């Protein structure tokens, strides 16, 4: 089975704002009523978030929903393993990426998610649940600890997708724009950044192919990199019907690089 990941830049499931993207996630599972496991670690196991998921993915999109609480409950290793490896779709919610990754690594969830990926489970998520699949990501996690004095940080992910990821590329946290700070991060760190706006996602198939999918026509995704002259370039990643080779996602138009 091919490994499949859908990384969503942002959106609101309460208003069904990402419905076209989420229907594609369900289609990729090859199941009419897939078993969807929601992992809300980044929101500190928010019950309200889980209720929204039940209403949206369960009642509206007809998935069989389940949840994996890792903070408010203490499931056994076997319970965690059974839930993760038994799902058709895993959907990771948004919130505090740094907290989520620390909890996952402490409990071995990171390794189980990689196993699920290799077994053909569709991995998906929004915001923190998008960052986690990449090498690392542009995160506002520190704002959860000190809302008055904080800065964006680069949080290490699972490394299933290459690059530094920035969700919510067209929005801000507590008045600080992501776009400007992410460009500064790429200027300092180098490499290729994958920036995704709200209501936009990138679908990755088997680590070899990708395509941009959107729930709003104005939403965009970008590759962000430092040119040979040191200038940070943000190029829109074209949306197309057919899957494209993943190498082209990281290609840079500046020939001097």
DSSP state letter for 47: H
Angle, alpha carbons 128-171-166 (nearest 5°): 40
CB 70 within 8 A of CB 64: no
Task: Give the confidence band of 1 by pLDDT, cuts at 50, 70, 90.
Answer: low
CB 192 within 8 A of CB 163: yes
Q: What is the pLDDT, as a whole number, of residue 147?
A: 87
CB 143 within 8 A of CB 150: yes
User: What are the tokens at 124?
Assistant: 């998906």
What is the pLDDT of the chain when averaged over all its residues?
A: 94
How many C-beta atoms surround the C-beta of residue 99 within 10 A? Answer: 19
pLDDT in tens, 4-48: 999 999 999 999 999 999 999 999 999 999 999 999 999 999 999
Half-sphere exposure of 110 (CA within 13 A, CB side): 18
Query: In sequence order, what are the residues at sequence separation of 6 or more whose Cβ sits closer than 8 angstroms to the Cβ of residue 250?
Result: 162, 163, 192, 223
Q: What is the pTM of this model?
A: 0.95
pLDDT in tens, 44-103: 999 999 999 999 999 999 999 999 999 999 999 999 999 999 999 999 999 999 999 999
Task: Give the confidence band of 253 by pLDDT, cuts at 50, 70, 90.
Answer: low
**Residue in the structure block whose two tokens are 């904080």:** 150
């Amino acid at each position: 089975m091919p490994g499949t990941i859908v990384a969503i830049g942002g959106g609101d499931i309460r208003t069904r704002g990402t419905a076209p993207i989420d229907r594609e996630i369900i289609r990729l599972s090859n199941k009419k009523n897939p078993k969807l496991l929601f992992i809300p670690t980044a929101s500190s196991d928010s019950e309200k978030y889980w209720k929204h998921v039940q209403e949206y993915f369960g009642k509206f999109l007809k998935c069989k929903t389940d949840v994996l609480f890792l903070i408010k409950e203490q499931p056994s290793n076997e319970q965690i393993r059974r839930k993760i490896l038994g799902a058709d779709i895993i959907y990771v919610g948004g919130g505090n990426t740094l907290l989520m990754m620390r909890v996952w690594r402490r409990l071995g969830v990171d390794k189980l998610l990689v196993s699920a990926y290799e077994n053909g489970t569709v991995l998906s998520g929004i915001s923190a649940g998008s960052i986690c699949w990449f090498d690392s990501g542009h995160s506002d996690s520190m704002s959860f600890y000190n809302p008055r004095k904080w800065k964006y940080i680069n949080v290490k992910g699972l490394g299933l997708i290459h690059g530094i990821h920035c969700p919510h590329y067209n929005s801000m946290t507590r008045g600080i724009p992501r776009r400007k700070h992410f460009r500064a991060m790429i200027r300092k760190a180098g490499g290729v950044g994958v920036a995704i706006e709200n209501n936009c996602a990138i679908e990755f198939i088997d680590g070899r192919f990708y395509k941009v999918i959107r729930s709003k026509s104005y939403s965009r995704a970008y590759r962000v990199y430092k040119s040979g002259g040191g200038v940070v370039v943000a190029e829109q990643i074209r949306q197309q019907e057919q899957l494209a080779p993943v190498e082209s996602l990281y290609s840079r138009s500046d020939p001097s690089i």
